[in-house]
Amino acid sequence: MRSIDHEELLRSLADPDLVLLDVLPRKSYAKGHLPNAQSLPLEEIEDHAADLIESGDRIVVYCVNEACNRAEKAADTLERMGFSDVRVYAGGTREWTRRGGRLLAGAESGD
């Protein structure tokens, strides 16, 4: 499983082929998520990933922090489904805000 660090994620946010997935429950996403992130809770990945992701997309998944294993589980599931460019932003929302990033609330996407 590949990871992505904060600086690389910042550089990647402008990539139109990047799909940034918040794999926390929808309530958590509504309270605050990274800009441009889409909500796809871990429990819904197998049923809905194909609705949000095309085969050539670069995928980054995240949850709260390094102790949260939802992102790793999501990455494993996506790779089993045949998506080849999947990375985990292990720092999640905590690292994002600690480094000065803003979380968006509700359905804001930051576009």
% of the chain exceeding 90 in pLDDT:
92
Phi, psi of 70, deg, nearest 5: -60, -40
The pTM (predicted TM-score) of the whole model is 0.93
Q: Give the tokens for residue 57.
A: 């997309």
Q: Given a cut of 70, is residue 31 above it in pLDDT?
A: yes
CATH architecture, domain defined by 2-98? 3-Layer(aba) Sandwich (3.40)
